[in-house]
Amino acid sequence: MKTTVYIFLLVFISLSLQAEGGHELWLRNKSTGHVTVTCSRNSATLAVAIKELQQGWQGKDNAKVVLTIKDDKAIKYDGFKLSPGEIQANTDLGILYGVYELLRRQQTGHPIEKIICNPSYEVRILNHWDDPDSSIVRGFASRSIFWRKGKNSLVVTDADKALWQEYARANASVGINGAVLNIVNASPLVVSEGYLERVKAIAAVLRPYGIKVYLSVNFAFPSMIGGLKTSDPLDADVIKWWNAKVREIYSKIPDFGGFLVKANSEGQQGPHDYGRSHAEGANVLADALKPFEGILMWRAFVYSPNDKDRAKQAYNEFMPLDGQFRDNVIIQVKNGPIDFQPREPFSPLFGAMKKTSVMPEFEIVKEYLGASIHLVFLAPMWEECLKSDTYQEGAGSTVARCTDGSIYPQEHTAIAGVANVGVDRNWCGHLFDQANWYAFGRLAWGNTLTSEQIADEWIKLTFSQIPSGQAASTLFSTDWTEKFLVPVKKMMLQSREAAVNYMMPLGFHHIFAMPNTHYGPGPWWAPEGVRKDWTPPYYHQADTNSVGFDRTRFGSDAVSQYHEPLGSQFNDLETCPEKYLLWFHHLPWNYIMKSGRTLWDEICYHYETGMQQVREFQKIWDMVEPYVDTERFTQVQDKLRSQFRNAQIWKDACLLYFQQFSLKPIPYDIDRPVYGLDYLIKNSDNYYGL
Amino acid sequence: MKTTVYIFLLVFISLSLQAEGGHELWLRNKSTGHVTVTCSRNSATLAVAIKELQQGWQGKDNAKVVLTIKDDKAIKYDGFKLSPGEIQANTDLGILYGVYELLRRQQTGHPIEKIICNPSYEVRILNHWDDPDSSIVRGFASRSIFWRKGKNSLVVTDADKALWQEYARANASVGINGAVLNIVNASPLVVSEGYLERVKAIAAVLRPYGIKVYLSVNFAFPSMIGGLKTSDPLDADVIKWWNAKVREIYSKIPDFGGFLVKANSEGQQGPHDYGRSHAEGANVLADALKPFEGILMWRAFVYSPNDKDRAKQAYNEFMPLDGQFRDNVIIQVKNGPIDFQPREPFSPLFGAMKKTSVMPEFEIVKEYLGASIHLVFLAPMWEECLKSDTYQEGAGSTVARCTDGSIYPQEHTAIAGVANVGVDRNWCGHLFDQANWYAFGRLAWGNTLTSEQIADEWIKLTFSQIPSGQAASTLFSTDWTEKFLVPVKKMMLQSREAAVNYMMPLGFHHIFAMPNTHYGPGPWWAPEGVRKDWTPPYYHQADTNSVGFDRTRFGSDAVSQYHEPLGSQFNDLETCPEKYLLWFHHLPWNYIMKSGRTLWDEICYHYETGMQQVREFQKIWDMVEPYVDTERFTQVQDKLRSQFRNAQIWKDACLLYFQQFSLKPIPYDIDRPVYGLDYLIKNSDNYYGL
Tens of pLDDT, residues B574-586 = 999 999 999 999 9
Cut 0.95: pTM above it: no
Tens of pLDDT, residues A497-550 = 999 999 999 999 999 998 888 999 999 999 999 999 999 999 999 999 999 999
Report the pLDDT averaged over residues A662-683.
95
Residue A342 has pLDDT above 50, yes or no: yes
Nearest CA in chain B to A612: B671
Residue B1 has pLDDT above 60, yes or no: no
User: What confidence category does residue A690 fall into, taking pLDDT thresholds of 50, 70 and 90?
Assistant: very low
Nearest CA in chain B to A690: B690
Out of B648, B668, B675, closest to residue A619 by CB: B668
> Nearest CA to CA, how far is B15 from chain A (Å)?
21
- Average pLDDT over chain B, rounded to whole? 94
Tens of pLDDT, residues B57-92 = 999 999 999 999 999 999 999 999 999 999 999 999
pLDDT of residue B332: 98
Nearest CA in chain B to A625: B665
- Average pLDDT over chain A, rounded to whole? 94
Query: Would you call A668 and B619 a contact, using CB atoms and an 8 Å cutoff?
Result: yes
Which positions of A are catalytic? 266, 339, 367
pLDDT of residue A124: 98
Report the pLDDT averaged over residues B150-177.
96
Report the pLDDT averaged over residues A351-357.
96
User: What confidence category does residue A474 fall into, taking pLDDT thresholds of 50, 70 and 90?
Assistant: low
How far is CA B216 from each of CA A586, B204, B339, rounded to the nearest angstrom? 67, 19, 19
- Chain B neighbors of A619, CB-CB under 8 A: 668, 672
Helices A433-445 and A451-463 cross at an angle (nearest 10°) of 130
- Chain A neighbors of B668, CB-CB under 8 A: 619, 622-623
Nearest CA in chain B to A666: B622
Out of A622, A641, A673, closest to residue B668 by CB: A622
Tens of pLDDT, residues A250-309 = 999 999 999 999 999 988 899 999 999 999 999 999 999 999 999 999 999 988 777 789
Residues A151 and A4 sit within 8 Å (Cβ to Cβ): yes
Residue closest to A206 by CA, chosen among A145, A121, A132, A133 = A145
Q: How far is Cα A643 from Cα A376, in angstroms, rounded to an integer?
A: 10
Report the pLDDT averaged over residues B638-651.
96
Residue closest to B420 by CA, chosen among B148, B157, B121, B167 = B167
Query: Would you call B618 and A672 a contact, using CB atoms and an 8 Å cutoff?
Result: yes
User: What confidence category does residue B4 fall into, taking pLDDT thresholds of 50, 70 and 90?
Assistant: very low
Residue B450 has pLDDT above 90, yes or no: yes
Answer yes or no: B528 catalytic: no
How far is CA A607 from each of CA A243, A386, B656, rounded to the nearest angstrom? 54, 26, 28
Residue B443 has pLDDT above 80, yes or no: yes
Query: Would you call B672 and A615 a contact, using CB atoms and an 8 Å cutoff?
Result: yes
Q: What angle do CA B317, B318, B319 make, to 5 degrees?
A: 105
Residues B575 and B549 sit within 8 Å (Cβ to Cβ): no
> Nearest CA to CA, how far is B528 from chain A (Å)?
29
Q: pLDDT > 70: what percent of chain B?
A: 95
pLDDT of residue B466: 53
Tens of pLDDT, residues B147-157 = 999 889 999 99
DSSP annotation string for A190-250: GGSHHHHHHHHHHHHHHGGGT-EEEEEE-TTHHHHTS--S---TTSHHHHHHHHHHHHHHH
Out of B625, B638, B676, closest to residue A676 by CB: B638
Answer yes or no: B557 catalytic: no
Beta strands in A287-440 (DSSP E): 295-299, 329-334, 357-363, 414-418
pLDDT of residue B81: 98
Coil, strand or helix: which one is B61? coil
- Chain B neighbors of A641, CB-CB under 8 A: 672-676
Q: How far is Cα A332 from Cα A325, in angstroms, rounded to an integer?
A: 13
How far is CA A339 from each of CA A515, A518, A530, A555, rounded to the nearest angstrom? 14, 11, 18, 21
Q: How far is Cα A614 from Cα A502, in angstroms, rounded to an integer?
A: 9
> Nearest CA to CA, how far is B399 from chain A (Å)?
40
Q: How far is Cα B636 from Cα B621, in angstroms, rounded to an integer?
A: 8
Query: Would you call A668 and B641 a contact, using CB atoms and an 8 Å cutoff?
Result: no
Out of B640, B645, B675, closest to residue A641 by CB: B675
Q: Would you list which residues of chain A are within 8 Å, Cβ to Cβ, of chain B?
A: 615, 618-619, 622-623, 625, 638, 640-641, 644-645, 648, 665-666, 668, 671-676
Report the pLDDT averaged over residues A614-642.
96
Q: How far is Cα B136 from Cα B138, in angstroms, rounded to an integer?
A: 6
Q: How far is Cα A366 from Cα A418, in angstroms, rounded to an integer?
A: 9
Report the pLDDT averaged over residues B102-116.
94
Query: Would you call A666 and B622 a contact, using CB atoms and an 8 Å cutoff?
Result: yes
Q: How far is Cα A481 from Cα A460, in angstroms, rounded to an integer?
A: 9
Ranking B248-262, B263-277, B340-354 by mean pLDDT, the lowest is: B263-277
Residue B465 has pLDDT above 90, yes or no: no
Out of A622, A640, A674, closest to residue B645 by CB: A674
Query: Would you call A615 and B666 a contact, using CB atoms and an 8 Å cutoff?
Result: no
Report the pLDDT averaged over residues B443-447.
98
Eight-class DSSP state of A504: S
Query: Would you call B665 and A622 a contact, using CB atoms and an 8 Å cutoff?
Result: yes
Helices A44-56 and A92-108 cross at an angle (nearest 10°) of 10
Report the pLDDT averaged over residues B674-682.
93
Query: Would you call B622 and A665 a contact, using CB atoms and an 8 Å cutoff?
Result: yes
Q: Beta-carbon neighbour count of residue A309 at 10 Å?
A: 20
Residues A647 and A610 sit within 8 Å (Cβ to Cβ): yes
Residues A225 and A181 sit within 8 Å (Cβ to Cβ): no
Q: Would you list which residues of chain B are within 8 Å, Cβ to Cβ, of chain A?
A: 615, 618-619, 622-623, 625, 638, 640-641, 644-645, 648, 665-666, 668, 671-676
- Chain A neighbors of B659, CB-CB under 8 A: none
pLDDT of residue B470: 52
B460-B462-B464-B467 Cα dihedral, nearest 10 degrees: 120
Q: For residue B8, give the H/E element and its range.
A: helix B2-17
Instruction: Tell me the Ramachandran region of residue B204: left when phi exceeds 0, alpha when psi lies from -120 to 50, beta otherwise.
Output: alpha
User: What confidence category does residue B5 fall into, taking pLDDT thresholds of 50, 70 and 90?
Assistant: very low
Rounded to 5 degrees, what are φ and ψ at A682? -60, -35
Q: Is-cis flag, bond preceding B515, omega within 30?
A: yes
pLDDT of residue A687: 59
Out of B665, B672, B676, closest to residue A618 by CB: B672
> Nearest CA to CA, how far is A563 from chain B (Å)?
46
pLDDT of residue A475: 72
Tens of pLDDT, residues B541-562 = 999 999 999 999 999 999 999 9
pLDDT of residue B13: 37
Q: Beta-carbon neighbour count of residue B394 at 10 Å?
A: 10
- Chain A neighbors of B686, CB-CB under 8 A: none
pLDDT of residue B474: 58
Q: How far is Cα B513 from Cα B681, in angstroms, rounded to an integer?
A: 9
Nearest CA in chain B to A613: B671
pLDDT of residue B658: 98
Residue closest to B462 by CA, chosen among B61, B67, B104 = B104
Tens of pLDDT, residues A143-201 = 999 999 988 999 999 999 999 999 999 999 999 999 999 999 999 999 999 999 999 99
Rounded to 5 degrees, what are φ and ψ at A141? -130, 45
> Nearest CA to CA, how far is A367 from chain B (Å)?
23
Nearest CA in chain B to A640: B674
Report the pLDDT averaged over residues A334-347.
98
Q: Is-cis flag, bond preceding A487, omega within 30?
A: no
- Chain B neighbors of A675, CB-CB under 8 A: 641, 645
Tens of pLDDT, residues A379-398 = 999 999 999 999 999 999 99
Q: How far is Cα B248 from Cα B294, in angstroms, rounded to an integer?
A: 13
> Nearest CA to CA, how far is A657 from chain B (Å)?
15
Report the pLDDT averaged over residues B506-522.
93
Q: How far is Cα A356 from Cα A332, in angstroms, rounded to an integer?
A: 11
